[in-house]
Amino acid sequence: MTRNDTADQIDQALFAALWSVLDQHPFSTLSLDRLAADAGLDRDAVYIRYADPASVLLAALRGLDEAALAGVATDFADAPEASVQEKLLEGLISRFELYAPYRPQMAAVHDAACRDPLLAACLLARLSDMIDRLLHLCGDHVTGWRRRARTKGVVAVLLRVRSVWQKDGTADLALTLSALDKELTRAAEWAVSLRVLSAADLNPTQDKDDHYDNTPS
């Protein structure tokens, strides 16, 4: 067994223990000792890999996000004609679908973040990284201040839709999809008016070389 195999096994056991605890208990009750015991792992092996429960949480979220990105990358390859906006909607709803089994745990994480500014900042950075990579997969390769503004805008959309998703009991997350579509459209319209987003992203039939001309011909 290689070192990477051992690390992966430790991670999978820790993540399972993490989600199990957060299903019933607040994040504040977590400790590395508890996670190690619940996972049946050697305490020292856990401390070698992680500094605290927050670092375990961030690693678990990264794993989920990478799985979501891998899934949508395959979907996008089958629909090259879709616009950035269309791909973004699909990518975000796919992420919500992947996280659906963890709604109780994510509610616990949200409550903890509201009480811990440092945890909130780490979670925001994790989410921003995921959105940045998703935008690349969608075909949005803008850099600089426009990229930062777009990323922050999509993060804001996700934070607004989170409460709808948390209560969405529909089998296909129809309420979440509707809210996400509306919020993305509203954000995109603002972004076009502020010259952060190209109007061509909202209208796939428009000449995509005409990046910021939003006047009728």
Tokens 């927050």 belong to residue? 54
Q: How do residues 86-122 score in pLDDT, each as one tens digit?
A: 999 999 999 999 999 999 999 999 999 999 999 999 9
Q: Are 129 and 175 in contact (CB under 8 A)?
A: no
Q: How confident is the model at residue 202 (pLDDT cuts 50, 70, 90)?
A: low
Q: Please give the pLDDT value at position 200.
A: 62
Q: How do residues 59-85 score in pLDDT, each as one tens digit?
A: 999 999 999 999 999 999 998 889 888
Cα–Cα distances in angstroms (integers) from residue 52 to residues 7, 58, 127, 201, 207, in the given order: 16, 10, 19, 42, 50
Q: Are 52 and 93 in contact (CB under 8 A)?
A: no
Whole-model pTM: value is 0.86
Q: How do residues 9-47 score in pLDDT, each as one tens digit?
A: 999 999 999 999 999 999 999 999 999 999 999 999 999
Q: Please give the pLDDT value at position 194.
A: 65
Q: Can you list the positions of beta strands (E) in the chain? A: none
CB atoms within 10 A of CB 201: 23
| Residue in 121, 111, 185 with CA at minimum distance from that of residue 153 | 185
Q: How do residues 135-155 score in pLDDT, each as one tens digit?
A: 999 998 889 988 999 999 999
Q: Are 45 and 33 in contact (CB under 8 A)?
A: no
